[in-house]
Amino acid sequence: MYPLKFENLYYEKIWGGRDLKIFRDNLPEGSIGESWDIACHPHGTGKVINGEFKGMAFDKLIEIKGDEVLGTKISKERFPLLVKLINAKDKLSVQVHPEDEYANRVEGELGKTEVWYVVEAFEGANLVVGTKDCSKEQFEEAIKTGDFDRYLNKINVKKGDVYFVKSGLVHAIGEGVIIAEIQQNSDTTYRVYDYNRGRELHIDKALDVIDFNLKGEKSLGIKTEKEGYTKTYYCLCEHFSLEGYEIENCVKEHSDEERFFIFTCVEGKGEIVYKNGIEKINKGDSILVPAALGEYEIKGKLKLLKSYVPDMVKVEREILNIIEK
């Protein structure tokens, strides 16, 4: 196996823009809101664009090379993650996602917990993460009147900020950002308010699943210094782990036969060197490291996000080894 690159699946959105052209040269016409970069979902499945399996759909590759690609501990029935870049020139709807039990029962779909990394922040860049100072009854009444901005936790953001968005947390991506979003492989969204843009709202379902006890806070992470790079553990849950790498020259690692890794480049450029070759990685690229890859080395001056479905105990032990003295 080798590091896998997939086509960018672009989606036009009424709130989208053209800012991905900063680091992409294949942007189609229109107001592009989303680029699905590692995707294997009924609403969008990427094809491999490099190497032996070039042109093959991701679901077909999983069918024929399941354990080698995904790992022995990852279900082959449904790819667990979806990696996107989101460009918001206008604010997205105020929305919420259900957790797994509700989503499976009502939608026949996975729930959706996600994490955001701010790749670019332009003038006025902001996000809504959670509610504040309100009960369900107050929020429901405010929806009816349209006067609920005071109940939204709106924050200004800058490049490099990270926010964990658990299912049940009210949220909205504001105008002026490019976000790297790593999420459960689900496309279920309940809109609470959409600024009178005429799209369907899902207020009853949203009120079913909003958890008003959840708080939206920036993930500062746990940072560790290594030779030639730093590594920051940003968030850890049963659905995914997110780690950040700031590489000055190189980092050597080994794939895990139990699970795949995804690297998303959010600054700079470099290359992934493995036994049988080299794959370049530039800002905006996502590359899947198959479980069967073996040893690999990432060279260059760049910032990467590493996402994967974790062995929770193993990652917790890694973190404890850093902080225990």
Q: Write out the catalytic residue numbers.
A: 191
Residues 6+ apart with CB under 8 A from 90: 14, 15, 175
Mapped onto helix, strand or coil, the DSSP state of residue 41 is strand
Q: How far apart are CA 147 and CA 231, in angstroms?
A: 42
DSSP label at residue 48: B
**Contact in structure between 66 and 76 (CB atoms under 8 Å):** yes
Strand order of the β-sheet with 126-131 is 152-156, 126-131, 171-173, 94-96, 190-193
CA atoms 245, 250, 251, 257: torsion sign: positive
H-assigned helices in the chain: 58-70, 100-107, 136-145, 203-209, 312-323
Which helix or strand (DSSP H or E) is residue 271 part of? strand 261-274
Assigned token pair, 33? 């809101």
**Contact in structure between 304 and 312 (CB atoms under 8 Å):** no
